[in-house]
Amino acid sequence: MLKRKYDKIINIMQLRFFCQVARRGSVSRAADDLFRTQSAITRAIRDLEAALNVTLFERHYSGMVATEYGRCLLPRARRAIDDLQAIPLLLQKIKTRSTASAALPDAGWLFNTRRLEIFLQLYHVNHTQTVATQLGITQPAVSAALKILEKGADSALFRRTPEGVRPTPAADLLYPPISRALNELDNIWSDLAARRGVLEGRVRVGALPLSRTQLLPAAISAFLARYPGITVMTNESPYESLVSDMRAGNIDFIIGALRQDEDLPDLTCEALFEEDMLILLRNDHPLLSHPDPRSQLATAQWVLPRSNAPARHLLEKAFLTLGLPLPQPTVETGDAAMVRGLLRDSDMLAAVSASQMRFEIDNGLLTILPVRLPDTTRRIGLTFRAGSLPSPATQALLSFIQQHVAQR
């Protein structure tokens, strides 16, 4: 659900005018491009400067030149505008040949910040009266905004059901770019604050299991000790859900095991280190005194990751390499606390990465079985949305993560 840190809402239409003036270097040329009067463009720029409390342009006889704050604002503003400008083409692609028009309609119906906020809230909440209450507006205002959006999209965006409204495929298509655009607007405030020498805002991290026990907590603790005014939010959802949230701009980056066989053009990865999987068991487990523990692996009781997890695939590959039957799960779980409890209170085994149970290993709570698992090396690292622009606070946390890895 959309939550805003700042009371002032940036007017995205004014931001559109700002980008065009910056691109053209002239109010008159921008006005011609946008089919507006020069006075309307000038007034919009003045109002935007007042809302942000900065000067965005220096007025020269040769044209409009962006100030340092204008140059600071421009990259993120362009991303927000470009995301919205691309929506008509996205909608055109899902229309049939008989209904699609040759010319793309103008995206002007999208450049209203409150209207976009209503869409996002309705997408999450599915009830118009609840959205109206949350945003402090009337239900007819919600309905009017939705009507304008549906007219612009030339598609129904929500289905009315007895349980509320439900997004249509067109709404599913609109959600990621609209969400990204509004997230960019939120980050403008922290960009401008950083230009003044103040680090503020929030960082939203998608935390996969291998990052949760040691790497991420240590980096966040050191980071917040240095920057106590920042808010860090972690999301422990499954990988596919984290990627969807990152594509919508709701997560800044994902940290954990990198997907080995995945090549998605809209994602970029940065490896931090590599780690092999190992077998853990309780300290007085009978296998520790067995002359050939490897021969017992196929018949042992196992705590395994779920069948679709990359770690499960690597473990099964290792068993095939060792010439052993695949391990059969007694328990399937992806929760580290559950694995820890099961191992300490039973004769079960688990295959994990060392960092996943580093505390238990270092403090003698669990023991490593001396059987090597071949071909189980995993790259641990960061995943980003391609072309994203991390906020200053996000960049600072990433530096702390990299420093922590360097000290391992």
pLDDT of residue 210: 86
How many whole angstroms separate alpha carbon 340 and alpha carbon 142?
49
Q: Look up the pTM and report it.
A: 0.89
Q: What SS3 state is found at 90? A: helix
Residue 304: DSSP 8-state: E
Distance, CA of 334 to CA of 338 (rounded, Å): 8
In tens, the pLDDT along 317-335 reads: 999 999 999 999 999 998 8
Give 21-60 pLDDT, tens digit per residue.
999 999 999 999 999 999 999 999 999 999 999 999 998 8
- Taking only the tens place, the pLDDT of each residue in 196-247 is 999 999 999 999 988 988 899 999 999 999 999 999 999 999 999 999 999 9
Q: In 88-168, at which residue ranges do the beta strands (DSSP E only) sit?
A: 158-161, 164-167
Residue 104 confidence (pLDDT): 61
In CATH, the number for domain 200-274+380-406 is 3.40.190.10
pLDDT of residue 5: 46
d(CA 161, CA 336): 40
Q: Which residues, 6 or more positions from 121, have their beta carbon under 8 angstroms from its beta carbon?
A: 1, 2, 131, 134, 135
Alpha carbons 258 and 334: distance in angstroms, whole number? 16
**Are 12-177 and 200-274+380-406 equal in CATH topology?**
no
Q: What pLDDT is attached to residue 98?
A: 45
pLDDT tens, position by position, 155-208: 999 999 988 899 999 999 999 999 999 999 999 999 999 999 999 999 999 999
Domain ranges of the chain: 12-177, 200-274+380-406, 277-376
Q: What superfamily in CATH does domain 277-376 come from?
A: Periplasmic binding protein-like II (3.40.190.10)
Q: Which CA distances in Å does 113 have to 108, 119, 181, 217, 253?
A: 12, 10, 10, 36, 25
Residues counted in the chain: 408
C-alpha torsion angle, residues 88, 93, 99, 100 (rounded to 10): 60
How does pLDDT run across 333-385, given as a tens digit for each residue? 988 889 999 999 999 999 998 888 888 998 999 999 999 999 999 999 999 99
Rounded distance between C-alpha atoms, residue 25 and residue 16, angstroms: 14
For the stretch 68-96, pLDDT in tens is: 999 999 999 999 999 999 999 999 887 75
What does R_g of the chain's alpha carbons equal in angstroms? 26
Residue 255: beta bridge partners? 207, 382
Instruction: Report the C-alpha gap between 147 and 149 in whole angstroms.
Output: 5
pLDDT, one tens digit per residue, over 117-156 is: 999 999 999 899 999 999 999 999 999 999 999 999 999 9
Distance CA 24, CA 385 (A): 29
Q: Cα(171)–Cα(248) distance, rounded to whole angstroms?
A: 13
3-state DSSP percent of the chain in helix, strand and coil, to 5: 50, 15, 30
Quick one: which of 260, 259, 272, 288 has its CA closest to 349?
A: 288
User: Rounded CA gap, 117 and 121, in Å?
Assistant: 6
Q: What is the CATH number of domain 12-177?
A: 1.10.10.10
Q: Is the pLDDT of residue 2 over 60?
A: no
26 by Cβ neighbours in 10 Å (0-12 / 13-18 / 19+) ranks as: middle
